[in-house]
């Protein structure tokens, strides 16, 4: 895994944006996208460039990593809403080419299977990832098999607490999610992992130079042929 240390969050976002720009030059680009606070700077740069007419997403398809289960359609913490408001609605992307798992499907196992076959047809040209404080990628929590495909997860307490800041109270944070599996993530042609801030330093160390182990899902990325970890100085503190 290549590691790039940038001075701060803005520089991290710019470095990721350069890679996305390059990927968008390929013929039928498929962006693997993530939610969370970390990629917001990158999404702002993409939106700004589209607004100025310097970039177009007309020819782009996207697949998202994950979605909460059970939030009503249009809930402002659903990942579909996050993607629409922070990226898709600010660009010229065709919304019908943007895929996010359906967290309200009646049969969740059937939804996992549907999303998984979609991923098998749509290999990500680049997958953007954040990293959880516990080393998770997507909602693949520690202990998830590296061979996993799209599946349902019970969210760990630490993850629910990390995400509670977006809800009125921890009780409102969903207990389950649907997520791409680790093998779906590893199938991407390129992977860009972003991390910013001191609270990510331990997870970044474990991911970049720790033992490759299912106890730290992000450590699997050491085995990917084209993965770059872009971190700011605070997140790189323990490297």
The single residue of 64, 134, 140, 187 carrying the catalytic annotation is: 134
Residue entry with tokens 């609605």: 89
Q: Which residues bind ligand PGA (CB under 6 A)?
A: 36-38, 130-132
Pick 131 or 201: Cβ nearer ligand PGA = 131
Exposure b/e, 48-74, CB count within 10 A at least 16 = b: ebbeeeebebeebbbbbbbbbbebeee
Residue 104 CB, nearest approach to ligand PGA (Å)? 22
Helix (H) or strand (E) holding 12: helix 9-23
Active site residue 141: yes
Q: Which helix (H) or strand (E) holds 199?
A: none
214 carries an active-site annotation: no
Residue 238 exposed, middle or buried by CB count within 10 Å (0-12, 13-18, 19+): middle
CB of 111 to ligand PGA, least distance (A): 21
Smallest distance, Å, CB 133 to ligand PGA? 7
Give the whole-angstrom CA distance, residue 193 versus residue 188.
Answer: 12
Residue whose C-beta lies closest to ligand PGA: 36
- Cβ neighbors of 14 (< 8 A, separation 6 or more) are 6, 45
Is 111 annotated in the active site?
Answer: no
If the CB atoms of residues 11 and 92 are measured against ligand PGA, the closer one turns out to be 11
We find the least distance from the C-beta atom of residue 187 to ligand PGA, in angstroms, to be 18
| Of 67, 111, 136, 151, catalytic | 136
User: Residue 105 class from Cβ within 10 Å (0-12 exposed, 13-18 middle, 19+ buried)?
Assistant: middle
Closer of 23 and 194 to ligand PGA (Cβ) = 194
Catalytic residue among 64, 66, 75, 184: 66
Nearer of residues 56 and 166 to ligand PGA, judged by Cβ? 166
- Our CB check for ligand PGA shows the closer of 5 and 40 to be 40
Residues 85, 160: Cα–Cα separation, whole Å: 22
Catalytic pick among 141, 163, 187, 224: 141
Residue 198 CB, nearest distance to ligand PGA (Å)? 12
The reply to whether 66 belongs to the active site is yes
Catalytic machinery residues: 66, 134, 136, 141
């Amino acid at each position: 895994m290549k590691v790039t240390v940038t001075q701060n969050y803005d520089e991290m976002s710019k470095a990721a944006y350069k890679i996305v720009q390059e990927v968008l030059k390929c013929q039928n680009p498929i962006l693997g996208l993530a939610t969370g606070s970390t990629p917001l700077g990158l999404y702002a740069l993409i939106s700004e460039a589209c607004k100025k007419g310097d970039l177009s997403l007309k020819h782009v398809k996207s697949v998202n990593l994950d979605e909460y289960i059970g939030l009503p359609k249009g809930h402002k913490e659903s990942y579909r809403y996050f993607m629409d408001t922070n990226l898709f609605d600010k660009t010229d992307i065709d919304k019908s080419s943007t895929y996010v798992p359906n967290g309200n499907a009646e049969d969740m196992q059937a939804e996992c299977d549907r999303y998984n076959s979609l991923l098998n047809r749509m290999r990500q040209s680049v997958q953007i990832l954040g990293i959880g404080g516990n080393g998770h990628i997507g909602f693949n929590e520690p202990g998830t098999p590296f061979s996993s495909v799209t599946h349902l997860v019970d969210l760990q307490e630490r993850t629910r607490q990390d995400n509670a800041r977006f809800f009125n109270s921890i009780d409102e944070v969903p207990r389950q999610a649907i997520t791409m599996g680790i093998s779906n993530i590893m199938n991407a042609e390129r992977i860009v992992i972003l991390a910013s801030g001191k609270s990510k330093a331990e997870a970044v160390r474990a991911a970049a130079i720790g033992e490759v182990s299912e106890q730290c899902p992000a450590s699997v990325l050491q085995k990917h042929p084209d993965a770059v970890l872009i971190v700011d100085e605070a997140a790189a503190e323990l490297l």
